[in-house]
DNA sequence: TATTGTTATACTCTATAACTATA
DNA sequence: TATAGTTATAGAGTATAACAATA
């Protein structure tokens, strides 16, 4: 086997041209690079077509899995400020995808639910995203993608430890 | 073993309180949640102390691994616009961490290199980040973290396919 | 014609502060 | 006192457009 000067080194930067060096093992850096790809997958798969921001899609899906949840719980889940959630919810409700109903037990709070249209949009987007991830992330086997999701989930779960530390 | 009603379900949102539902297997969502943790690790480990933005740190490390590289190559590597790179390079050069020297062969371009101080800062930050990732991501074994970095690298490498598709 | 790099500009997202209403 | 939600406001980061110099 002669060496192949044309094939990029395995610590090359995604766009090629540069080497990653020590960054190869820095999770934060690899995450940022992977995010570039994954964000584009979202945009190509459904974002551009539906005009739905990544965050709006996530809101739909979280409300779908947690019917009756409140704005405050979504802000905590996504680690964003409450004025920010107010803004995003305003957008998805004005699009007729989520509806707010006043809570009977707590008159400050609103319960959130998908509308029929929101349900349809959420389903369609999820299918499109899944297909696009399948297609673009073809370098990863189905098993590898499952492991990746699992490991990322574990990383996300480390948030509790961090928040304890910061308190 | 009786069931434990207090332990959160395994598809709970990182902050608890909500369920992820179908998002459990959406790589893009899991990535965003993991990013929350990893960004905070960076801030706590070195960002706050050094006043160095995540991107500035990345620039230092890429220039370190690729002495003499140009602004344009960094913009491509990070998938950001050239005016944006100009801004970030202005910051790190004004801090005395990176120096620009005019190219002899191409009078439009500048070659970038770490200063002695930049080298020291890059080293210190990398060590601190590594230790913090070790500490906070303790739910993942050393092996799991290595696999995670590897899989994220593979995802990043899928960018070439995407860019071909968009062309 | 294409590329390197910069300046000018505007937009999007985000947070903090301040507030109302309710618990 | 603390929490749910909103409005007002400002800051940070990003991109596009337009340009100059060079290839």
Nucleic strand D under 7 Å from the C-beta of B145: no
Find the range with the poorest average confidence among A2-6, A105-109, B30-34, B147-151: A2-6
B109-145 burial by CB neighbour count: b if 16+ within 10 A, else e? bbbbbbbeebeebbeebbebbeebbeebbeebeeebb
* Chain A residues whose beta carbon lies within 8 Å of the beta carbon of residue B71: none
A:29-88 Cβ neighbours of strand D under 7 Å = 70-73, 82-83, 86-87
Residue nearest to nucleotide C22 (CA to C1'): A108
Owner of token pair 């584009």: A40
Give chain A's largest Cα–Cα span.
74
| Nearest residue to B119 (alpha-carbon basis) of B56, B64, B68 | B64
Looking across all nucleic acid strands, the nucleotide with the smallest C1' to CA distance from residue B82 is C5
CB contact at 8 A, A114 and A98:
yes
| pLDDT confidence tier of residue B151, bands split at 50, 70 and 90 | very high
Mutate to test the interface with B, among A54, A127, A152 (most CBs of B within 10 A): A152
pLDDT tens profile B38-79? 999 999 999 999 999 999 999 999 999 999 999 999 999 999
pLDDT at A140 over 60: yes
| Nearest residue to A140 (alpha-carbon basis) of A34, A57, A43, A54 | A34
pLDDT tens profile A21-56? 999 999 999 999 999 999 999 999 999 999 999 999
Per the model's pLDDT, the better-predicted residue between A1 and A150 turns out to be: A150
pTM: 0.94
pLDDT at A113 over 50: yes
| pLDDT confidence tier of residue B7, bands split at 50, 70 and 90 | low
Size of the A and B interface in Cβ pairs below 8 Å: 259
pLDDT tens profile B69-108? 999 999 999 999 999 999 999 999 999 999 999 999 999 9
Give the helix/strand (H/E) hosting B54.
helix B54-65
Helix then strand then coil, in percent of chain A rounded to 5, is 65, 10, 30
Q: Which pLDDT belongs to residue B97? A: 98
Mutate to test the interface with A, among B30, B36, B37, B61 (most CBs of A within 10 A): B37
Give CA–CA dist B104/B112, Å, rounded: 13
Q: What is the mean pLDDT of residues B23-31?
A: 98
* Chain B residues whose beta carbon lies within 8 Å of the beta carbon of residue A15: 76-77, 79, 159-160, 163
Nucleic strand C under 7 Å from the C-beta of A79: yes
Residue nearest to nucleotide D7 (CA to C1'): A83
pLDDT at B2 over 80: no
Helix B27-42 / helix A116-136 crossing angle, nearest 10 deg: 80
| pLDDT confidence tier of residue A2, bands split at 50, 70 and 90 | very low
- What is the DSSP code string of B9-35? PTTB-TTSSSB-GGGGG-HHHHHHHHH
| pLDDT confidence tier of residue B164, bands split at 50, 70 and 90 | low
Distance CA B112 to C1' C6 in A = 17
Q: Which pLDDT belongs to residue B5? A: 45
Q: Which pLDDT belongs to residue B66? A: 98
């Amino acid at each position: 086997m002669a060496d192949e000067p044309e094939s990029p080194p395995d610590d090359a930067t995604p766009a090629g041209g540069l080497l990653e060096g020590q960054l190869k093992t820095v999770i934060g850096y690899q995450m940022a690079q992977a995010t570039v790809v994954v964000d584009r997958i979202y945009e190509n798969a459904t974002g551009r077509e539906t005009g739905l921001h990544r965050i709006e899609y996530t809101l739909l899906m979280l409300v779908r899995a947690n019917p009756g949840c409140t704005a405050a719980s979504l802000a905590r889940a996504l680690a964003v400020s409450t004025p920010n959630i107010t803004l995003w919810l305003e957008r998805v409700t004005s699009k007729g995808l989520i509806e707010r109903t006043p809570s009977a037990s707590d008159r400050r709070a609103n319960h959130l639910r998908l509308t029929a249209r929101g349900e349809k949009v959420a389903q369609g987007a999820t299918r499109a995203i899944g297909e696009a991830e399948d297609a673009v992330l073809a370098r990863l086997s189905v098993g590898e993608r499952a492991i990746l999701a699992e490991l990322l989930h574990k990383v996300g779960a480390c948030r509790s430890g961090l928040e304890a530390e910061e308190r």
